[in-house]
Amino acid sequence: MGGPRTFNIELQILTEIFTGGPERKSEVIRDTGLIGSLRWWYEALIRGVGGTACDPSQGPPCEERLHCDACELFGCSGWSRKFIFRSREESDKTLKVQITELRRMEDVELALLNKTLSIIENYGAIGGKLAHRKYGIIKIKENDLRDFTLEKSMLKGYLRREGPHVDNPNLKRFIFIKNPDFQLVKRLKNDCRFLKGSGNRGKRYFNKDPPGSRLFAYANEDEYPRLCECAGEEAKTGEEVLGGLI
């Protein structure tokens, strides 16, 4: 089977990537911030394809013997992450990432990671402060994971559907809009007030400035029809994005 494999990814930074730091500044890109963001999108994708993903803030965390599909790859208490993640800034516009196996990663996991990166590049953003208009837009220049394609048959044999889990954010209930205009953003704020969040739950719409101008938002199952109605025909639904991935 050979030794552990390493996969290289090169990102072009179109807008600053925030990953936290002293006094909430982001002068250095930190791996922990990138991994956290990558996992957030991976969880949304996993839920969208019928798997499970936990959220310790909404319930008990996963543990070694009984864990969700997201923790299978990213780890939890007693169950280590399957890979080492390293990043290095080549310049203020280029970020190189290495993903090296700690344990053998299945082709379906590599394919899911590849699709997660594709969603971030084309529709979302990476890093912390997703709600900030100026952070997190990237373009993928090189990607060793591109050869790993995702097929429905792979998911049937892989998804465990075990462990504690929640159903949001779920990629099936996202909307994505390229180059949103002011009136559309205003309509979403006024007519879909649930997107503003409540209590300890943050807002669920994210509007990004150029370059890569985009808006993405997600809703609960009962709210989603209203979100699609407010977004109008300009929006691409999560189902459409999933259909293009599998």
Single pTM value for the model: 0.95
Closest CA to 47 of 225, 218, 235: 218
- In DSSP terms, which residues pair with 53 in a beta bridge? 166
- Name the nearest CA neighbour of 15 among 89, 93, 80: 93
Q: What is the largest CA-CA distance in the chain?
A: 56
125: left (phi over 0), alpha (psi -120 to 50) or beta: beta
Q: How many CB atoms lie within 10 A of CB 21?
A: 14
Q: Could you report the per-residue pLDDT of 7-58, keeping only the tens digit for each?
A: 999 999 999 999 976 555 667 899 999 999 999 999 999 999 999 999 978 8
Digit-coded pLDDT (tens) for 140-180: 999 999 999 999 899 999 999 999 999 999 999 999 999 99
As given in the structure block, the two tokens for residue 140 are 């993928």
202: burial class by Cβ within 10 Å (0-12, 13-18, 19+)?
exposed
User: Is 181 within 8 Å of 215 (Cβ atoms)?
Assistant: no
Place of tokens 């909404």: 58
**Per-residue model confidence as pLDDT tens digits over 68-123:** 999 999 999 999 999 999 999 998 899 999 999 999 999 999 999 999 999 999 99
